[in-house]
């Protein structure tokens, strides 16, 4: 359900626990270099000329060992920065200890590697990527494959480093696994979501209240409502302004429809409340948001317009904020570009500032919990980059919360189901939010 994501410090600690370290460090290096050579031989059986670009540290040592083994296998493997004529390039310039921006000479070498036509196999982490955060401050290698040792590094799962990694291959080099602050979510997290039982009724199966749907924005609340039912909710209430009722009555069959004036009363029967899809930013909308946030101890999803000028409250771990990069940037007083470049730090700051869970949307969805590290969900579903899919996620998350799933795991399960449903829809080009909704039951079966 959760797999470790190692930072550079956690990897150093794992190496230092190896029997006899540091005298036995050459054993680890030999295994690492052999793993790289093995992957090159398996993935590129027709390659002959291998350019190995080595730095001065342990990462470079791994590369030199790989080159030696490849030569023993009959390949022309040499340490060089002249990569243009190579069939395969091994990037062993920087390792997990790198952070910041490469110096000019190293940056020029990285540019040369990226400009070459040959596929790149990076050793442990693509050079220029921060292994602990995924941050890329300057030039960074774009690898086809990254052979990483002992366990996946955080920077290989978190953007922008994730987009430099290519296929990540984890090689066992004999170290002991230990707990990590960051963890990768697997599809097994969906086993935490209760399915309907014979003894359930519509309320015990999960009762959800969704609030939003201002005129002109009714599509958002309709998508969230449909997604909540497809995520297996038993009872869904949609609260919209009176002017929006005629539209919502036509678009949504199954949910109960009420006006904003009745939202507080409806919240008394809800197992979870989601505020934001199509809420708008009027004074009335903001007042309703604040009233609902102050109500009881029901789990909350705060999304979209409900994040506008939001101030910290006393909701604690029962609340999940679900911003995209632009929304989180505004909450933190930063620019969107900064959030995209520092996703882990941004999500963590969001969780700490608001004292609740912060789910930062993206290809690497990050779920930060105050004082407890973060969970990372990586599902390759580029079709989700389309309007309305965030509203679908809100409906799924609200349902899982209403079913009693612990909020951080509800967020992880919702992000996972969301991504898997997008993939199950069978296409990415032209995918629309309704396609994701339709595919939800298949991933929750």
Residue range 432-445: mean pLDDT, rounded: 96
pLDDT at 426 over 90: no
Phi then psi dihedrals of residue 88, to 5 deg: -140, 145
Q: What per-residue confidence (pLDDT) applies to 49? A: 98
CB count within 10 Å of CB 293 equals: 18
Range 21-55 burial, b when 16+ CB lie within 10 A, else e: eeeeeeebbbbbbbbbbbbbeebbeebeebbbbbb
**E strand segments, 354-423:** 357-360, 364-368, 374-378
Q: Which pLDDT band holds residue 249 (cuts at 50, 70, 90)?
A: very high
Q: Which pLDDT band holds residue 60 (cuts at 50, 70, 90)?
A: very high
Q: Which pLDDT band holds residue 8 (cuts at 50, 70, 90)?
A: very high
pLDDT at 445 over 90: no
Q: Which two tokens stand for residue 169?
A: 């291959």
Q: Which pLDDT band holds residue 14 (cuts at 50, 70, 90)?
A: very high
Cα(432)–Cα(443) distance, integer angstroms? 17
DSSP letter for 164, please: H
Q: Which pLDDT band holds residue 53 (cuts at 50, 70, 90)?
A: very high
Residue range 398-414: mean pLDDT, rounded: 98
Q: Which two tokens stand for residue 192?
A: 């935490």
Cα(399)–Cα(206) distance, integer angstroms? 6
Q: What per-residue confidence (pLDDT) applies to 144? A: 98
pLDDT at 295 over 90: no
Q: Tell me: the pLDDT tens digits for 101-140?
A: 999 999 999 999 999 999 999 999 999 999 999 999 999 9
DSSP letter for 237, please: E
Q: What per-residue confidence (pLDDT) applies to 142? A: 98
Class for domain 187-444, per CATH? Answer: alpha beta
Residue range 43-72: mean pLDDT, rounded: 97
Q: Which pLDDT band holds residue 408 (cuts at 50, 70, 90)?
A: very high
Cα(151)–Cα(153) distance, integer angstroms? 6
Strand (E) or helix (H) holding 240: strand 235-240
Q: Is the dihedral of CA 53, 57, 62, 68 positive or negative?
A: positive
User: Domain-by-domain residue ranges, the chain?
Assistant: 2-180, 187-444
Average pLDDT, the chain: 97
Q: Which pLDDT band holds residue 428 (cuts at 50, 70, 90)?
A: confident
Q: Which pLDDT band holds residue 61 (cuts at 50, 70, 90)?
A: very high
Residue range 348-372: mean pLDDT, rounded: 96
Q: Which pLDDT band holds residue 15 (cuts at 50, 70, 90)?
A: very high
Fold of 2-180: Rossmann fold (3.40.50)
Cα(162)–Cα(232) distance, integer angstroms? 32
Q: Which pLDDT band holds residue 427 (cuts at 50, 70, 90)?
A: confident
């Amino acid at each position: 359900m959760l797999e470790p994501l190692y930072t550079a410090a956690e990897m150093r600690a794992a190496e230092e626990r190896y029997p006899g370290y540091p005298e036995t460090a050459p054993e680890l290096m030999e295994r690492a270099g052999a793993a790289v050579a093995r992957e090159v031989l398996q993935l590129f059986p027709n390659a002959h000329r291998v350019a190995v670009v080595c730095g001065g540290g342990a990462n470079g040592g791994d590369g030199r060992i790989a080159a030696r083994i490849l030569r023993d296998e009959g390949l022309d493997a040499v340490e060089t920065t002249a990569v243009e004529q190579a069939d395969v390039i091994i990037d062993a310039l920087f390792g997990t200890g790198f952070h910041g921006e490469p110096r000019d000479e190293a940056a020029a070498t990285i540019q040369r590697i990226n400009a070459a036509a040959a596929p790149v196999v990076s050793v442990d982490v693509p050079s220029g990527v921060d292994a602990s955060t995924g941050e890329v401050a300057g030039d960074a290698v774009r690898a086809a494959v990254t052979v990483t040792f002992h366990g996946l590094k955080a920077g290989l799962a978190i953007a922008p480093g994730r987009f430099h990694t290519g296929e990540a291959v984890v090689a066992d080099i004999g170290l002991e696994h230990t707990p990590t602050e960051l963890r990768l979510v697997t599809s097994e997290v969906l086993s935490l979501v209760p399915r309907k039982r014979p003894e359930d009724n519509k309320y015990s199966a999960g009762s959800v209240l969704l609030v939003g749907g201002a005129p002109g924005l009714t599509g958002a609340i309709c998508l969230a409502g449909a997604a909540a039912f497809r995520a297996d909710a038993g009872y869904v209430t949609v609260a919209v302004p009176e002017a929006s009722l005629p539209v919502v009555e036509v678009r949504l069959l199954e949910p109960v429809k009420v006006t904003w004036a009745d939202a507080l009363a409806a919240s008394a029967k809800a197992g979870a409340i989601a505020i934001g899809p199509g809420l708008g930013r009027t004074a009335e909308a903001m007042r309703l948001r604040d009233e609902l946030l102050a109500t009881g101890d029901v789990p909350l999803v705060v999304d979209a317009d409900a994040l506008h000028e939001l101030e910290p409250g006393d909701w604690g771990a029962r609340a999940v904020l679900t911003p995209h990069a632009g929304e989180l940037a505004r909450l933190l007083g930063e620019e969107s570009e900064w959030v995209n470049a520092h996703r882990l730090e941004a999500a963590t700051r969001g969780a700490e500032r608001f004292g609740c869970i912060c789910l930062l949307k993206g290809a690497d969805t990050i779920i930060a919990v105050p004082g407890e590290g973060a969970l990372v969900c990586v599902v390759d579903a580029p079709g989700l980059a389309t309007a309305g899919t965030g509203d679908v996620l809100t409906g799924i998350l609200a349902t899982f919360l209403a079913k009693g799933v612990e909020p951080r795991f509800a967020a992880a399960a919702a992000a996972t189901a969301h991504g898997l449903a997008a993939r199950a829809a069978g296409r990415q080009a032209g995918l629309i939010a309704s396609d994701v909704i339709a595919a939800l039951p298949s991933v929750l079966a």
